[in-house]
A = this chain, B = another copy of it.
């Protein structure tokens, strides 16, 4: 093996650029009733006085005003997270690291101690909830299994590349636990649709049971929404986290 394997337990989400804010949600909604004068509401100072409007839009599912904004993230996550994320088609744009065009780096996912993973009694596949693992041996065994498999996979990948074959074929043995980087652009509406399905909130109108690592990624994006669109975010929570 030529390269040393690295293990990582985080999902890294970096905000790269953004456009808009609560004031743009307000202004876009105001065009219905004010036409051209909606432009007066693009002043960020005026967002707060229209808190009620944002709540009304959310509650009655007037979704389009939440689309006149955008944000781009650079995310580093295991492929098994991307596999779920990329299923979000509408209002999401992606550009990902490619195993056909570059040698993938030997960075692999290992769960942190404390990652909930033990099936509860009466566990049902439809509502996959897990408890923290109290038995260290289980965690150690899991980690050993993953490490061992990851190591062989990457070694075989390197050997395949040395044969000079198509890198798109050489990678077939790489596991879904390997990390991959991706640019993600979305808007507040598509982000809320994503959050409603990829975070677990017992009080949500429709409770979701996402994969733990998927939720880690979603929660990191959620912070950006909370900071950049405080009124929108508050209304999202106040209305059962149903995307408008």
Residues of A within 8 A of B (CB): 14, 16-20, 24, 27-29, 31-36, 38-39, 42, 56, 59-61, 64-65, 67-70, 72, 74, 76, 78-80, 82-83, 86-87, 89-90, 92-102, 105, 109, 111, 115-119, 125-126, 128, 130, 133, 138, 141-142, 145-146, 148-150, 152-153, 155-157, 159-160, 163-166, 168-177, 180-183, 185, 187, 196-197, 205-208, 211-213, 242
A185/B17 contact (C-beta < 8 A), A146-B156, A166-B212 known? no
Q: Which residue of B lies closest to A150 (CB)?
A: B173
Contact A205 B208 (CB under 8 A): no
CB-CB under 8 A from A70, the residues of chain B are 19, 69-70, 185, 187
Q: A32-B102, A70-B185, A149-B155 are in contact. List 5 more A-B contacts (CB 8 A).
A: A17-B24, A32-B95, A61-B196, A67-B93, A80-B172
Contact B142 A160 (CB under 8 A): yes
Contact A169 B32 (CB under 8 A): no
Nearest Cβ on chain B to A186's Cβ, whole angstroms? 10
